[in-house]
Structure 1
């Protein structure tokens, strides 16, 4: 009886200690999440208010401004070629997303399911290429595009982006394909399906989360890139958003910082909408790549 009573008396203490520990842990987690949210949202709120701040100085922006204006947004579309820059960037990003996804997925499937001479060497080459930053090949890329007459051409820039996305993307998607059961393909072959049919009707539907992750990644890259766009594109009619916005604040005479902030806010809208609509698939693709890579 004594042991039973002692045990009975100790249970509430253990439960109470566990409950206190859980509350403390949750409190710490909420504090960390709150600090993280403030750190992330602070520059966003600051740049949005700066884009509506009268004048050209963004340093005068406060969280309780006396007056807000949308004149900088109007100025972008009336006095600048912002709509043309937006159109050029959207074309490059969408075309690169389509071409890169096709190249990455087909090459990853080939490396995952087929055995051919040079396969191991090709995988090692892609692995080694990921160790070097892409801008190390800027001179070689410039010479190649010059010889192919693709300088100051959107398609030249698209080919650069698409080729550069293959090593990293193919390794991730190959790991995903390796984790898919081969029994599905064997059953399709027994039914008389060709390799192309199996790839299109069996493998691709099973790979929607990973394909979404690859597609979104290849859309964001050109949308935000400045280095290669500046290297390849020269004429005013081919400028992208990154180049056009940079020229607003570069040089002694260019000090349109509030207009730059307005342009930056508009640049972020498509990416934000893309993440909001495809968040479920992006997270599933990340988890699939981590588990099966």
Structure 2
């Protein structure tokens, strides 16, 4: 009787777990399905849009290839990808080095530096928009993608450094000492020992560095004023705010295409995520 009751409770818990997972999956996929459906629906309005188009068309995807004085979709696409890749690479480099210094070395201001990183996360980015615009004007970097890359990279450093430092702290320092006995320098220890072991966290930092710029509108809209220099968030936003000619279905098509690079990057990094989870489970 007791075993039957335990089995029933296990089945109930398992059923509740699957119900929650299915519900969360539907919540995530439903808006995506509507976006995909809208991108194939004829017309420009969402009023007549259906989840499954009755007369599907590729007209909105074809419209993305057309260039006008204010519409440069693939230029915006390339600008976003270029900024995201550069931010991802620089974020991984600077965050890794900063986290290594905070994790393995003791220096004056170390504790205060970590506290400052935490405090910086409490300040919303949009609160610095005026300062960023003034800085861009002073440096002559309005419409500059380089300034955006530096801002995005700087924004990634505080919290990502704190997260990666915690991961480095979980790696035994005995490995460092053993390598030093064999004559390894700090640089070699960092590159050949810590970085390979920290691949899961490196993948997280890389993913955040890539996806962050793709979703930013506030900072990029302050710096970028030339339509050809826009990133996708600005260009697509302007596409649906035009009083005459707003096209929500073309917006949906453009949004679907930008999700392709994100999916590719995630698939490239997925192995590191899975490896980190399995290694963590093995160690535990």
Give the TM-score normalised by structure 2: 0.92
Q: How does 1:160-239 map to 2 (within 5 A)?
A: 160-239=151-230
Moved more, 189-198 or 209-218: 189-198
Moved more, 64-73 or 32-41: 32-41
Q: State yes or no: 1:46 paired with 2:34.
A: yes
Larger radius of gyration: 1
CA shift for structure 1 position 138 = 1.5
- Matched residue of 1:274: which SS? helix
Distance 1:143-1:263 versus aligned 2 partners, 3 A rule = same
- Matched residue of 1:234: which SS? coil
Name stretches of at least 5 consecutive residues in structure 1 with no aligned partner. Answer: 1-12
CA distance in 2, matches of 1:205, 1:31: 38
**Structure 2 equivalent of residue 157 of structure 1:** 148
Moved more, 268-277 or 150-159: 268-277
**Structure 2 equivalent of residue 8 of structure 1:** none
**Structure 2 equivalent of residue 243 of structure 1:** 234
CA distance in 2, matches of 1:205, 1:23: 41
**Structure 2 equivalent of residue 256 of structure 1:** 247
Distance 1:59-1:121 versus aligned 2 partners, 3 A rule = same
Q: Give the RMSD, CA atoms, in angstroms.
A: 1.9
**Structure 2 equivalent of residue 34 of structure 1:** 22
Q: State yes or no: 1:66 paired with 2:66.
A: no
Give the TM-score normalised by structure 1: 0.89
CA distance in 1, matches of 2:23, 2:182: 57
Moved more, 224-233 or 131-140: 131-140
CA distance in 2, matches of 1:71, 1:287: 45
- Matched residue of 2:64: which SS? helix
Q: State yes or no: 1:277 paired with 2:268.
A: yes
**Structure 1 equivalent of residue 82 of structure 2:** 91
CA shift for structure 1 position 30 = 2.1
CA distance in 2, matches of 1:141, 1:109: 29
Distance 1:59-1:287 versus aligned 2 partners, 3 A rule = farther
CA shift for structure 1 position 286 = 7.9
**Structure 2 equivalent of residue 5 of structure 1:** none
**Structure 1 equivalent of residue 97 of structure 2:** 106
Q: State yes or no: 1:19 paired with 2:7.
A: yes
Name stretches of at least 5 consecutive residues in structure 2 with no aligned partner. Answer: none
Which of 77, 90, 93 aligns to 2:65? It is 77
CA distance in 2, matches of 1:255, 1:286: 45
Q: Deviations over 1:95-122 (max 9, x none)?
A: 0111111111111111111112222221
